[in-house]
Chains A and B, each alone.
Chain A
Amino acid sequence: MTKVRSGDLDRLAALFERHSGSLFGYYVRLTSDRQLSEDFVQETFLRILKYRATYRGEGQFTTWMYSIARNVQIDHYRKWNREERMADEQEIADESGNGAAMENREDVELLQRALERLPADKREIIVLSKYQDLKYSVIAELLGCSEENVKVRVHRAIAELRKIFMELSGETAS
Chain B
Amino acid sequence: MKSNHVSEELLAYLSENLDGLIRQRVESHLENCPQCRTELESIRTLWNGLGELPAEPQPESSRERFYEMLRGYKQGISEQRRPAKVEGFSWGQLFGMRPAMQFGAALALVALGWFFGSHGRFEPNDGAQLAQLQDEMHGMSRMLTMSLLKEQSASARLEGVSWSYKTPEQDPEIETALVQTVKFDKNVNVRLAALDAISRMLDQPEIRSELIQDLPKQSSPLVQLAMVDLLVQAKEKESVAVFTKMLVDTSVNDIVKKKIQEGMVELKGAPQPK
Residue of chain B at shortest CB distance from A127: B50
Residues of B within 8 A of A107 (CB): 49
Once the chains bind, are B53 and A112 in contact (CB under 8 Å)? yes
Once the chains bind, are A161 and B69 in contact (CB under 8 Å)? no
Give complex CA distance A115, B55 in Å: 14
Once the chains bind, are A46 and B73 in contact (CB under 8 Å)? yes
In this assembly, does B58 line the interface, its C-beta being within 8 Å of a C-beta of chain A? yes
Give complex CA distance A112, B55 in Å: 11
Residue of chain B at shortest CB distance from A100: B45
Contact string, A1-39, partner B, CB cutoff 8 A, digits 1/0? 000000001101100100011001100100000100110
User: A117 to chain B: closest CB distance in Å?
Assistant: 14
Residues of B within 8 A of A101 (CB): 45, 49
In this assembly, does A97 line the interface, its C-beta being within 8 Å of a C-beta of chain B? yes
User: B7 to chain A: closest CB distance in Å?
Assistant: 7
Give complex CA distance A122, B23 in Å: 24
In this assembly, does A111 line the interface, its C-beta being within 8 Å of a C-beta of chain B? yes
Which A residues, 144 to 164, have Cβ-Cβ distances below 8 Å to chain B?
A: 147, 151-152, 154-155, 158, 161-162
In this assembly, does A170 line the interface, its C-beta being within 8 Å of a C-beta of chain B? no
Once the chains bind, are A135 and B17 in contact (CB under 8 Å)? yes
- Contacts A41-B62, A130-B47; is A151 near B73 (CB within 8 Å)? no
In this assembly, does A66 line the interface, its C-beta being within 8 Å of a C-beta of chain B? no
Residues of A within 8 A of B61 (CB): 38
Give complex CA distance A65, B42 in Å: 33
Q: Is the interface of B mostly helix, strand, loop or mixed?
A: helix
User: B16 to chain A: closest CB distance in Å?
Assistant: 8
Give complex CA distance A87, B62 in Å: 28
Give complex CA distance A46, B42 in Å: 42
Once the chains bind, are B66 and A24 in contact (CB under 8 Å)? no
Once the chains bind, are A158 and B73 in contact (CB under 8 Å)? no
Once the chains bind, are B66 and A126 in contact (CB under 8 Å)? no
Residues of B within 8 A of A21 (CB): 57-58
User: A81 to chain B: closest CB distance in Å?
Assistant: 26
Give complex CA distance A108, B53 in Å: 6
Once the chains bind, are A136 and B12 in contact (CB under 8 Å)? yes
User: B193 to chain A: closest CB distance in Å?
Assistant: 44
Residues of B within 8 A of A34 (CB): 56, 59
Residues of A within 8 A of B48 (CB): 102
Residues of A within 8 A of B170 (CB): none
Q: From the candidates B10, B17, B69, name the one contacting A136 in the complex (CB within 8 A).
A: B17
Beyond contacts A20-B58, A99-B42: 9 other A-B pairs, Cβ-Cβ < 8 A, are A38-B58, A46-B69, A46-B73, A49-B70, A97-B42, A101-B49, A111-B52, A130-B47, A136-B17
Q: Kindly list the 6 A-B residue pairs having the minimum CB-CB distance in the complex, ordered from nearest.
A: A102-B49, A24-B58, A99-B42, A28-B56, A97-B42, A136-B17
Interface residues of A, Cβ cutoff 8 Å to B: 9-10, 12-13, 16, 20-21, 24-25, 28, 34, 37-38, 41-42, 45-46, 49, 97-102, 107-108, 111-112, 115, 126, 129-131, 135-136, 147, 151-152, 154-155, 158, 161-162, 165
